[in-house]
Amino acid sequence: MQILVTIALVVIAVLLFELIIGLHEFGHFITAKLSGIKVNEFALGMGPKLFSFKKGETQYSLRLFPIGGYCAMEGEDEDSPEPRSFNNAKVWKRMIVIIAGAVMNIILGIIFSFIMVIPQEAYSSTTVEQFDPRSYSANCGLQIGDKIVKVNGYDIYNSKDLSFSFAGVNCENVDGKSVSVYKQDCANAICTEYSKIATDKKPDDDTLLKLYNITTDGCTAVNNSADKTEAKKVMDDTVKKLYDTIGVTDYTLPTITEKDTRQRYTATVTVIRDGKEVELNDVQFFTYYKNEEDKEADKPSVSLDFYVEPIDKTFTSVIKQGFSEALSVGRMVWQSVVWIAQGRFGFKDMSGPVGIASAVTQVASQGLETNFGSAVFNILNVMTLITINLGIFNMLPFPALDGGRFLLLLIEWIFRKPIPRKVEKYINAAGFIILMGFMVVVTCKDIWQLFTGQLSL
- Beta strands 276-288; 261-273: pairing state: antiparallel
Q: What is the pLDDT of residues 111-149, one digit of tens each?
A: 999 999 999 999 999 999 999 998 999 988 899 999 999
d(CA 75, CA 83): 10
Q: Which parts of the chain have pLDDT scores under 50?
A: none
Query: What's the rounded Cα separation, in Å, for the pair 34 and 26?
Result: 12
Nearest to 167 by CA among 333, 416, 358, 355: 333
Residues 6+ apart with CB under 8 A from 321: 117, 123, 158, 311
What three-state secondary structure class fits 114? helix
pLDDT at 2: 63
**What's the number of CA atoms in the CB half-sphere (13 Å) around residue 434?**
10
State how far the alpha carbon of 385 is from the alpha carbons of 10, 356, 373, 450, in Å.
18, 11, 19, 21
Backbone angles phi, psi at 401, to 5 degrees: -85, 160
What angle is formed at CA 419 by the lines to CA 417 and CA 425, rounded to 5 degrees?
Answer: 160
Q: Which of 304, 368, 344 is nearest to 138 (CA)?
A: 304
Give residue 175's pLDDT: 93
Q: What is the pLDDT of residue 455?
A: 54
What distance in Å separates the CA atoms of residue 312 and residue 123, rounded to the nearest whole number? Answer: 7
The reported pLDDT for the residue numbered 456 is: 53
The contacts of residue 29 (CB under 8 Å, 6+ apart) are 39, 42, 71
Alpha helix stretches (DSSP H) within 269-314: 292-296
Alpha helices, DSSP H, located in 147-227? 159-165, 179-200, 205-223
Bridge partners (DSSP) of residue 239 are none
Q: Where are the domains of the chain?
A: 2-115+379-452, 125-312
Q: Tell me how far apart the alpha carbons of residues 375 and 155 are, in angstroms, rounded to a whole number.
A: 30
Cβ(402)–Cβ(394) below 8 Å: yes
Q: Are 32 and 71 in contact (CB under 8 A)?
A: yes
Please report the pLDDT score of residue 347 as a whole number: 66
Q: What is the dihedral of CA 46, 49, 51, 53, to 10 degrees?
A: 90
Cβ proximity of 140 and 284 under 8 Å: yes
Decide if 280 contacts 299 (C-beta within 8 A): no
CB of 388 closer than 8 Å to CB of 330: yes
Distance CA 170, CA 133 (A): 23
Q: How far apart are CA 382 and CA 224, in angstroms?
A: 40
- pLDDT reported for residue 342: 75
Nearest to 39 by CA among 72, 69, 75, 83: 72
For 382-416, b/e burial (b = at least 16 CB within 10 A) is: bbbbbbbbbbbbbbeebbbbbbbbbbbbeebeeee
Between CA 319 and CA 102 the distance in angstroms is: 23
140-163: pLDDT as tens digits: 889 999 999 999 999 999 999 999
- DSSP tag of 169: P
- Do 76 and 87 contact (CB within 8 A), yes or no? yes
Measured between alpha carbons, how far is 218 from 202 in angstroms, rounded to an integer? 21
